[in-house]
Amino acid sequence: MSDIIKFVKKIPLFQGLQPSQVRELIAEGEVQALSRDDVLCREGDETRFLFILLRGKLVVERKGTTIAHTEAVDIVGEMGVTTDSPRCATLIAEGDVVTVTIAKNRFNYAIGLDAEFAARIYRNVLQSSFAKLLAMNDHFLDHLSGGGFGLATSV
């Protein structure tokens, strides 16, 4: 457990939380191992878990197209859990992957116990989502400018 806590401190979702809050949330999880090409979750499926990626890399696919890669140490699946939405992407192991899987109902119970804890979690989700959106926008712009499409300067 203490090894997991060391990893988790690096994850933006847990920034600003008390160590006891992080421990309580992590204690609700189960360690899961995946091999290359194993699917962690599928686009469109009901969201029942969030995942703390402790080791390895994941391919993020949407509508059959790779849109991103994510690697340890990070959290995935948090948007579906916090917004109660279906999975917006499929996550596939690029190699050996280890996650801590936390059930949505356990996560919601834990944050429901403390309004300050919940506010911090939601703020961190928003900040993390914003950072991911900026990175995807940059990637998209790089693709457009390097792919021969060019960027429209006026329409």
Q: DSSP string covering 77-94, please?
A: SHHHHHHT---SSEEEES
Per-residue tokens: 88: 């917006």
Distances (CA, A) of 56 to 8, 59, 80, 108, 124: 15, 10, 22, 27, 23
The answer to whether residue 28 sits within a structural domain is yes
The answer to whether residue 153 sits within a structural domain is no
The answer to whether residue 104 sits within a structural domain is yes
pTM of the model as a whole: 0.77
pLDDT at 73 exceeding the cut of 90: no
What domain range is 109 assigned to? 2-136
Domain of residue 127, CATH code: 2.60.120.10
User: Could you give the number of structural domains in the chain?
Assistant: 1
pLDDT at 154 exceeding the cut of 50: no
Q: What is the CA radius of gyration of the chain?
A: 17
pLDDT single digits (tens) 24-50: 778 878 999 999 999 999 999 999 999
Name which residue leads in pLDDT, 150 or 97.
97
